[in-house]
Amino acid sequence: MTPRPVATSSAQPAAPGVLVILGASGDLTKRLLMPALLNLACDRLLPEGCAVVGMGRDVMTSEEFRARQRGDIRKFCTRGTVDEERWGWLESRLHYMGGEFDDPDAFVRLRRLVDDTAAAIGAAGNTLLYLAISPDFFALVNQQLDTAGFTRMKGARRIIVEKPFGRDLDSARALNQSLLAHWPEEEIYRIDHYLGKETVQNLLAFRLANGMFAPLWNARHIDHIQISATETVGVETRGGYYDRTGVIRDMIQNHIMQMMAYVCMELPASLDPADVRDAKSRLLSSVRMIAADDVADACVRGQYGAGKKADGSPAVAYRDEPAVDPQSNTETFAAIRLHLDNDRWRGMPVYLRSGKSLWKRGTEIVVQFRPDEQAPAGVDPAGGEAVGNLLVFHIQPFQGVEIRIQAKRPGTTFTLQRAGMRFDYADSFDAARGTGYEVLLYSALNGDPTLFSRTDFVESAWEIFQPVLDSWAATPAADDPNYAAGGWGPLAASTLLTRDGRHWHEILNRDLLARTPFFAEAPSLVLNNLLPAFRPLAVASGTTVVEAGALDDEMYFVCRGELEAVGADGVRLGLLGEGEFFGEMAVLFDQPRAATVRATAPCDLLVLDGDEFRRIVNDFPAVAAEFRRIAEERRGVNGE
């Protein structure tokens, strides 16, 4: 039975309390925590009985700490301009003391400062300790906090632990044991900033509040699910950290598994934190373990080489990044196929991928429904083959939900066309941009652990990926780097799906298409028609994409890479590079391919079915004229 969401009134200020930040002089505080606190203050969600006590290794007074934060907030405020009145209110509640983490006396002084501050503002009995420090210090700091009596303070007390939560299963278990030696489970709040994103929280809201999808939410109606989190940037200044981490530890084991849990778990009996967290943990326990012998078949790893950034400027290879081992085998890309062995999803794959230095930045969840095999005779879908509907959750940078459907085209004939129905958060809600930490801090101050990870979830996630990490550690990659910076990732990632008769859904937007000069000035209506019509194709160097004399009916756009057009006499007619296209002659003039086109480097292509291309050309005369002009020029030199 689907639980009914409980209607709530507008949020009230958090419970009075003292937020203690260990590591308050570091980057996390100035870049994320302080802007989040200011956003809460601007929204009147912090109570009058609120204070922040920081401790860090930098020696300074509270006044100096306030002055430093006053300067930093102008750089990192997410609202454009700082609300001076609200910042003044928050700044007056900031306190600081310097101290080394290996100095027991420092924690005795910290305890005294916290007690005095709480008494002064009437907030005794609600203490939130935030470990904004390296995991290397977790065990030491917890012991110091226990010795100084923080674990025995009267009233409510909680400790927030930042990721990375361990670097493998053994270290995660050891870290849990060290925490549980000082704190009971209900007082440990393991934070994952992805759960602070509104779009991630709305995954649960979508499933709870939209019953029309409930009967379809199973392997009978859904063919597969894809979860992608891609970045255009390389490791940049984080090379030292990233070279010890890799993309599975950095993204997949935590952020992506949280999203998969929300999408695939059984709906909780209620919104009680225990019920929600139980449902997530049960989902992870249903994941089929990947045996060591199956890693090569189910998992793809990659590392980026030199290439181009999204803006066209040169990008160095991962091994040439600062603080990276020149012989490093650390993966900067991974694609993994999982199966869930439960009644709802048995037999249906879930594909996960994440990587750095790729062609676009975006986090999306794609739910691919099965096509309707019972469609009436005469109903011919756009593209010429039955394709199931798509449900797309846009997590970042664009936030929204999209359904891709087939719709009747205007006109006298019953002709279908791919179309999209989209909900954008920016068009529906007037909410100031946040850091993602606002809701997490607010929940922790109120003692709500719903958005925080429990011991069993963390350890189950590590259990799933430990065989992959072990296998990769035992067999270093022989072909690194295996994808160029600015591309789609390793060709093997595409093969992972094509072996199953599927392909990755490259979720496009107008900005991405506009990188191609031909589309830079195209009307929005043209781009809107193209976005759902393209399908991706990744090919290796030397691959023949079209053969001279063939009667196939597709057009191609080059995202990355280079191809050559070769005439029937074997003479090269020209090269095709990024932003160019080919195949329009065969499609426009209904003739065999005039030239062979093959890749001279690894290529990422967008493919447009001939029927879709002709429809767009017929609908937009200006586009048709430009295509025909280019086609005539190429026909004149007998090229493609």
pLDDT digits (tens, 9 = 90+) for 181-233: 999 999 999 999 999 988 899 999 999 999 999 999 999 999 999 999 999 99
Helix ranges (H only) for 265-394 are 273-285, 295-298
Within a domain: residue 309? yes
Looking at the structure, tell me whether residues 514 and 494 fall in a common domain.
no
User: Is residue 336 classed as helix, strand or coil in its secondary structure?
Assistant: strand
Three-state SS sequence of 388-419: CCEEEEEEECCCEEEEEEEEECCCCCCCEEEE
CATH number, position 569: 2.60.120.10
* pLDDT given at position 413: 76
The verdict on 106 and 21 lying in the same domain is yes
Instruction: Based on the fold, state whether residues 150 and 279 are members of the same structural domain.
Output: no
Name the residue among 444, 528, 510, 233 with its Cα closest to residue 359.
233
Q: Say what the pLDDT of residue 346 is.
A: 96
Distance (Å) of CA 14 to CA 25, 195, 448: 25, 19, 11
Residue 242 lies in a domain: yes
Provide the pLDDT for residue 279: 98
Q: Does 215 sit behind a cis peptide bond, omega within 30 degrees of 0 on the bond before it?
A: no
Same-domain pairing of 97 and 241: no
CA distances 313 to 103, 294, 323, Å, are 48, 39, 22
Half-sphere exposure (CA, 13 Å, Cβ side) for 265? 26
* pLDDT for the residue 545: 96
Listed in sequence order, the DSSP H helices in 32-103 are 34-42, 62-76, 84-91
Q: Are 117 and 125 a contacting pair, CB within 8 Å?
A: no
Q: Of the residues 119, 137, 162, which one is the last residue of a structural domain?
A: 162
Count of domains for the chain: 3
Would you call 255 a catalytic residue per the annotation?
yes
Distance CA 77, CA 104 (A): 35
Which amino acid would we find at residue 66?
R
Low-confidence stretches of the chain (pLDDT beneath 50): 1-9, 638-640
How far apart CA 274 and CA 218 sit, in angstroms, is: 24
Tell whether 331 and 469 lie within a shared domain: yes
Q: How many helices (H) and strands (E) does the chain have?
A: 23, 26
Is residue 597 included in any domain, yes or no?
Answer: yes
Residues 361 and 253 in one domain: yes
- The CATH number linked to 337 is 3.30.360.10
Q: What are phi and psi of 165, to 5 degrees?
A: -95, 80
Spot the catalytic one: 95, 193, 224, 255: 255
CATH number of the structural domain spanning residue 111 = 3.40.50.720
Place of tokens 């890749």: 599
Please give the residue range of the domain that contains residue 479. 196-373+454-498
C-alpha to C-alpha distance for 429 and 202, rounded to whole angstroms: 13
Residue 367, pLDDT score: 98
What is the full DSSP assignment across 143-165? Answer: HHHHHTTGGG-SSEEEEEEPSP-
- Give domain status of residue 143, yes or no: yes
For residues 489 and 532, membership in a common domain is answered with no
User: Of the candidates 11, 66, 20, which has an alpha carbon nearest to the alpha carbon of residue 39?
Assistant: 11
CA R_g for the chain: 27
> Same domain, yes or no, for 73 and 123?
yes
Q: Record the tokens describing residue 126, joined without a space.
A: 């609600």
Q: Are 462 and 517 contained in the same domain?
A: no
Rounded Cα distance between 583 and 458, Å, is 50
Q: Does residue 431 form part of some domain?
A: no
In a domain, 426, yes or no: no
Unique residue bearing structure tokens 């509270």: 62
Could you say which of 142, 162, 182 is where a domain stops?
162
Q: pLDDT at position 426, please? A: 78
Look at residues 498, 528, 555 and tell me which one is the last residue of a structural domain: 498
- Cα–Cα distance list, 96 to 63, 106, 135, 149, 513 (Å): 8, 12, 22, 19, 50
Identify whether 484 is part of a domain. Answer: yes
- Match 């606190």 to its residue by tokens: 37
Same domain, 226 and 362: yes
Spell out the residues 6+ positions from residue 170 whose beta carbon is closer than 8 angstroms to its own.
none
Are 116 and 261 in a shared domain? Answer: no
CB atoms within 10 A of CB 421: 10
Residues 346 and 489 in one domain: yes
Query: What is the pLDDT, as a whole number, of residue 2?
Result: 43
Residue 134 lies in a domain: yes
Predicted pLDDT of residue 610:
84
